[in-house]
Structure 1
Amino acid sequence: MKKTIVLYPGVAVSHFLPMMQLADELVDHGYAVAVALIDPAFQQHTAFPATVDRVVSSKPTVRFHRLPRVELPPATATDDGDFLLLGYLDLVRRHNECLHDFLCSMLPGGVHALVVDSLSVEALDVGERLNVPGFVFHPANLGAFAIFLQLPSIRAEGEPSFRELGDNPLELPGLPPMPASHLFSQFLEHPESQVYKAMMNVSRRNAQYSKGFLVNTFESLEPRVVNALRDSRCHHGGPALSPFYCIGPLVEKADERRDRAERHECLAWLDRQPERSVVFLCFGSTGAGNHSVEQLREIAVGLEKSGQRFLWVVRAPPVAIDDDDDSFNPRAEQDVDALLPAGFLERTTGPGVVVKLWAPQVDVLHHRATGAFVTHCGWNSVLEGITAGVPMLCWPLHSEQKMNMVLMVEEMGIAVEMAGWKQGLVTAEELEAKVRLVMESEAGSQLRARVTAHKEGAATAWADRGSSRSAFARFMSDMDRTANIR
């Protein structure tokens, strides 16, 4: 009988998809995989439920179980469907008994191990009660995770809070100087606030209760922090860190088998463009990537002035921000065409394409015509850019994306920063200049060379005797040993 691993993914596209890539690897290595799902139907934003449905239908060898829905307080979700941290933690907590019942239902064969998302760490208590070894899956990079794990131990009582530090840098082993202002927003709240304490608690529980950490990165991409975490001196006197396994990149692959009739129309346009000639702009799968009308117009002007071919995925802001402007519809679903500068779409037809809401990002990045990627720095997108060998322009929006940007620019050398994000507006002039830099200059060629080297490193990591394949083998060995001695 196959050993059964239960995966408990986070309730967000960026957390769910990499764990489903992990599911594939476990199945390929002979394990049975069951996925416990918190029902995504409560979300007002449709991207996550649609993603879950697509993945469930595509993985017949994986057992998916939707946990019973629980009653949620009205304030659990924000208006746009994104969860605040406290609401998310409450959601996971309310599902613990449902998860417990599901694990119990798998008797007599039982559960070999439980792997939970890094923000769902309270679910490890469920595994502990049932004597099931629990591991944590972190869908992002090791650098941001190392910061997350160390924050509770690096600010002594009486020292300025992270909030008070502002842009002053944190100096952590194996990492470039990280401005305190770039941390997760919850760490920048008042230290006595409920959300700050909750985030610190999640960090401590990650560090103390997991049997090990699976991280969606590969060693040659982040060698300094890998070595630093292996050195006990990086823990600042805190508890010894559980083993960590760099098993990335876990990303979806370009669908080269897709029937041409099913291909998105933007791919047919890319087919007609010269190699490495197109700038691709896309800002993630959630509503957080919706820019203001003013920002959309700056992007449009900058793209047009740059003279570069472009493929731009646009989401309209949910409401009008200028009631005196009659050029657009102030309903929730605005007309994107009317939000852009007059005549922009007509003038750029041919060298440019505007796609509303969604494009097949992985397929676009792997297309020979794509030459640069303007990204919000979500880690899935970063890995997709790396594995496609495309240099990037960083425009962070939220979560760990500011930290990712520092790592991409300062440590990995694969991107340039759109500095205007700090003021809340990237000007047309900056966008034009940065796009030209990446597409036309020697500095851009150097970026491309470095990202190409990391692309090759990503492929090597999962090759025979590669670092990620070896780390995955260590994980399976440690997991089997821990399960057998319980």
Structure 2
Amino acid sequence: MEPNPNPTVVLHACLGVGHLIPMVELAKLFLRRGLAVVIAVPTPPASTADYFASSASAVADLAAANPSVSFHHLPPPDYPAPDPDPFLQMLDALRLTVPSLADFLRSLPSVAALVLDLFCVDALDAAAAAGVPAYFYYTSCAGDLAVFLHLPHYFATAQDGSASFKDMGKALLHFPGVPPIPASDMPHTVLDRADRTCAARVGHYGRIPEGRGVLINTYEWLEARAVSSLRDGVCVPGRPTPPVYPIGPLIVKGQEAAEGERHACLSWLDAQPERSVVFLCFGSLGAVSAAQLKEIARGLESSAHRFIWVVRSPPEDPSKFFLLRPEPDLDSLLPEGFLERTRDRGLVVKMWAPQVEVLRHAATGAFVTHCGWNSVLESASAGVPMLCWPLYAEQRLNKVFVVDEMKAGVVMEGYDEELVKAEEVEKKVRLVMESEDGEKLRERLALAKQRAAEALANGGPSAMAFEEFLKDLKLPKGSSTEAEQLSIMVDDGR
């Protein structure tokens, strides 16, 4: 392959599947514009091997599936005393990778930009050392970004300077551009102000305005209020807010047509009536307890609706959901006789299903989701209403925005308690699939699907936002991307 003579954009990602996949989709966007692209990924210390096992395999899988995208593995940092907290270990590893990232940037003949994942905020120092403009790619929603950018100011000006969200129960918090948020729905990393993790995260949020701009994986129609607040600078009082570029939804196209082999669940869907199936999947890492699996099963059975359910083995330690787990023993995990009683209208899939293809299938009528942002975008782009069941990270925040702002789903009550009861599962499935409220959700999601496609089309808001970003790069005269005046963003059928 001939080397690309155009400037290189370096993307720096953390080792999280939900962060890596959007980075790969962004890399494809740059490649379609003629730019050279490299995704620089850290090599975690040996002490964190278990924590990063699933992510390391994801890098290998993504590299194999996307041969046009280059990956550069940064050398492991000298990390003699790893932090006992796995999350802080990851942040430390990223911080200690800054010198090797700076060396890599200097080794390239022409770098147009360094684009950083939010967790890689310390890499602003690498960009400065190498004289390269730094941007952020925010892989979650604009509403989350509005909250997080405001959080340092919120804590600095709170009347009770020591109050932690963990002590406030469901008291409503108010941030620019988003609906009121119950304190208990804030991410666990910022619940306790006295915790080291909270201090680290707030420090990161405070550095985002140092970037030259922020790309966001969203589309403006879906989050108009949050995007407007970010552009108006009200989320960061007293400091300039960098330009924001809503360029999404950047989601995986799906492989069923390209591979020529379809997952068995898609053939099963072919035989089901239109919009008759409830799809349940909790993302790349999400899993629930054995007791919760039984409650879900009872609720699905009582609902009498068709379903596809992706089941994973419960983690031995709920706090270590990120560790690799064996395939589930369905006979021991599910109620006795459940599989036989529901075999004519339900399909249980072990570990994984092709989520994008399932959501786009005409037979799929609702999606029980953990509210990871990739899943939210995939559901909105497919026009499928969501039943929101957040598990970890920023998913509770996303739940608030999906239900209260986007009007794209309903809440599975009990997600923040020991169990979501079978009766609640049945009730919410019936609400979305049978009721007038469910019909309103489908109408709303049909519009969300239409607007997602329009956003990515030539001349659409997301396509034009990417054009504005490319102009800000100040590419050298004569590069193929500088010469192009019209977007050639490819509509991937989204």
TM-score by length of 1: 0.90
Amino acid at match of 1:442: E
- Aligned with 1:197: secondary structure? helix
1:349 aligns with 2:343: yes
Amino acid at match of 2:454: T
Quick one: structure 1 residues 167 and 481, their matched pair in 2 at CA, closer, same or farther if it must change by over 3 Å?
farther
What is residue 101 of structure 1 aligned with on the other side?
103
1:69 aligns with 2:76: yes
- Aligned with 1:119: secondary structure? helix
Mapped partners of 2:374, 2:6: distance in 1: 30
Mapped partners of 2:277, 2:444: distance in 1: 19
1:306 aligns with 2:313: no
User: 1:413–1:447: 8 Å Cα contact kept in structure 2?
Assistant: yes
Point out where structure 2 has 5 or more consecutive residues left out of the alignment. 319-324, 479-494
Amino acid at match of 1:20: V
What is residue 181 of structure 1 aligned with on the other side?
184
For residues 156-235 of structure 1, what are the structure 2 equivalents within 5 Å?
156=157, 158-159=159-160, 160-189=163-192, 191-207=193-209, 209-235=210-236
Amino acid at match of 1:400: E
Mapped partners of 2:206, 2:103: distance in 1: 26
Mapped partners of 2:195, 2:228: distance in 1: 34
- Alpha-carbon offset, residue 439 of structure 1: 0.7
- Alpha-carbon offset, residue 103 of structure 1: 1.4
- Alpha-carbon offset, residue 62 of structure 1: 2.6
1:88 aligns with 2:90: yes
1:38 aligns with 2:42: yes
Mapped partners of 1:462, 1:63: distance in 2: 24
Residues 440-474 of structure 1 deviation map (CA, whole Å, 9 limit, x = unaligned): 11111110110110111110111121110111011
Mapped partners of 2:313, 2:173: distance in 1: 36
Amino acid at match of 1:97: P
Residue in structure 2 matching 1:470, options 464, 467, 470: 464
- Alpha-carbon offset, residue 44 of structure 1: 5.0
Mapped partners of 1:381, 1:448: distance in 2: 17
Mapped partners of 1:362, 1:466: distance in 2: 23
Mapped partners of 2:446, 2:131: distance in 1: 45
- Alpha-carbon offset, residue 204 of structure 1: 0.3
Quick one: structure 1 residues 453 and 8, their matched pair in 2 at CA, closer, same or farther if it must change by over 3 Å?
same
Residues 6-33 of structure 1 deviation map (CA, whole Å, 9 limit, x = unaligned): 0111210111111111111111111111
What is residue 114 of structure 1 aligned with on the other side?
114
TM-score by length of 2: 0.89
User: 1:319–1:334: 8 Å Cα contact kept in structure 2?
Assistant: no
What is residue 293 of structure 1 aligned with on the other side?
290
- Alpha-carbon offset, residue 54 of structure 1: 2.4
Amino acid at match of 2:423: E
Mapped partners of 1:76, 1:230: distance in 2: 37
1:55 aligns with 2:66: no
Residues 313-358 of structure 1 deviation map (CA, whole Å, 9 limit, x = unaligned): 001213499xxxxxxxxx9765232111110011111211111111
- Aligned with 2:198: secondary structure? helix
- Alpha-carbon offset, residue 119 of structure 1: 1.0
What is residue 271 of structure 1 aligned with on the other side?
270
User: 2:369–2:375: 8 Å Cα contact kept in structure 1?
Assistant: yes
Quick one: structure 1 residues 99 and 234, their matched pair in 2 at CA, closer, same or farther if it must change by over 3 Å?
closer
- Alpha-carbon offset, residue 389 of structure 1: 0.8
- Alpha-carbon offset, residue 61 of structure 1: 2.9
Amino acid at match of 2:302: K
User: 1:319–1:332: 8 Å Cα contact kept in structure 2?
Assistant: no
User: 1:214–1:247: 8 Å Cα contact kept in structure 2?
Assistant: yes
Mapped partners of 2:326, 2:101: distance in 1: 37
- Aligned with 2:348: secondary structure? strand
Quick one: structure 1 residues 284 and 450, their matched pair in 2 at CA, closer, same or farther if it must change by over 3 Å?
same
- Alpha-carbon offset, residue 290 of structure 1: 1.9
Point out where structure 1 has 5 or more consecutive residues left out of the alignment. 322-330
Mapped partners of 1:228, 1:69: distance in 2: 39
Mapped partners of 1:126, 1:483: distance in 2: 26
What is residue 397 of structure 1 aligned with on the other side?
391
- Alpha-carbon offset, residue 48 of structure 1: 2.3
Amino acid at match of 2:179: P
What is residue 252 of structure 1 aligned with on the other side?
252
Mapped partners of 2:52, 2:205: distance in 1: 27
Mapped partners of 2:53, 2:262: distance in 1: 22
The alignment covers a number of residue pairs equal to 462
Mapped partners of 1:265, 1:196: distance in 2: 44
Mapped partners of 1:247, 1:58: distance in 2: 23
Amino acid at match of 2:25: Q
- Aligned with 2:257: secondary structure? coil
Mapped partners of 2:24, 2:396: distance in 1: 25
Mapped partners of 1:483, 1:426: distance in 2: 59
User: 2:146–2:176: 8 Å Cα contact kept in structure 1?
Assistant: no
Quick one: structure 1 residues 77 and 66, their matched pair in 2 at CA, closer, same or farther if it must change by over 3 Å?
farther
Mapped partners of 1:73, 1:264: distance in 2: 45
What is residue 486 of structure 2 aligned with on the other side?
none
- Alpha-carbon offset, residue 274 of structure 1: 1.1
Mapped partners of 2:52, 2:89: distance in 1: 16
1:453 aligns with 2:447: yes
- Aligned with 1:396: secondary structure? coil
Residue in structure 1 matching 2:13, options 9, 15, 25: 9
Quick one: structure 1 residues 193 and 420, their matched pair in 2 at CA, closer, same or farther if it must change by over 3 Å?
closer
- Alpha-carbon offset, residue 130 of structure 1: 1.1
Mapped partners of 1:131, 1:360: distance in 2: 42
- Considering only aligned residues, what root-mean-square deviation do their CA atoms show, in Å? 2.2
For residues 308-457 of structure 1, what are the structure 2 equivalents within 5 Å?
308-319=305-316, 335-457=329-451
Quick one: structure 1 residues 298 and 32, their matched pair in 2 at CA, closer, same or farther if it must change by over 3 Å?
same
User: 1:153–1:238: 8 Å Cα contact kept in structure 2?
Assistant: no
- Aligned with 1:461: secondary structure? helix
Mapped partners of 2:129, 2:74: distance in 1: 19
- Aligned with 1:7: secondary structure? strand
What is residue 325 of structure 1 aligned with on the other side?
none
Quick one: structure 1 residues 117 and 482, their matched pair in 2 at CA, closer, same or farther if it must change by over 3 Å?
farther
- Alpha-carbon offset, residue 75 of structure 1: 4.9
Out of 150-159 and 20-29, give the one that drifted further: 150-159
- Alpha-carbon offset, residue 192 of structure 1: 3.2
Residues 381-424 of structure 1 deviation map (CA, whole Å, 9 limit, x = unaligned): 00011111111100001111011001000111110000111213
Quick one: structure 1 residues 320 and 9, their matched pair in 2 at CA, closer, same or farther if it must change by over 3 Å?
closer
